[in-house]
Amino acid sequence: MYNRVLATNGGPHSPEDWARVTCEDLIPVDGLVSELTASGMILRGRLMDVLAEHYKQVQDEESAALRNRMSRFDEELEGVLDFGQLFAEIQAAANGTPWQGHITGADVIDAIRAVVTDHARHMRHVERLWHADRNPGAGEGQLYRKRHGLPPTPEAVLEPAPPTEEQ
């Protein structure tokens, strides 16, 4: 697995941006014969719609959870909402393409699960960072930033440290 940086301009990336990146990771077309390249590009287009819908649900769920309970910052970063349903939609999108048989192998399914789970966890992480930035007075968000090696939001109003015996 490799890392890539998605540039942002003040907020989380759109579900469509995440879907595009996921499609590039799942359907690599560089260096393939022209038939696979062309069908891979068609499949990417189909998968972008499927993934964007699922990724929007992930972002909406995470955002709602953060609005409803600050303890969400302490919960595990989950993957996609329902991988079984998502994979069924991926299979349907691949039907009729040369990629159809390829994606049914157990190792390929595991790789697809790993990529979409990793991307969904990153989306949740970004939602948490974004929520912390929009709510700088919330100590839970600032502690989350600190746990991930990030400085506090510049406008953050952190709770004062408890007095020491010297004070």
Rg of the Cα atoms in the chain? 20
Going by pLDDT thresholds of 50, 70 and 90, the confidence category of residue 47 is very high
Tokens standing for residue 80: 């996609």
Are 79 and 117 contacting, i.e. CB atoms less than 8 angstroms apart? yes
Residue 72: DSSP 8-state? G
Q: What is the pLDDT of residues 137-149, one digit of tens each?
A: 888 999 999 999 9
Residue 27: DSSP 8-state? S
Q: What is the pLDDT of residues 100-142, one digit of tens each?
A: 888 888 999 999 999 999 999 999 999 999 899 888 888 899 9
For the chain, the distance separating the N- and C-terminal CA atoms, rounded to the nearest angstrom, is 50
Residue 100: DSSP 8-state? T
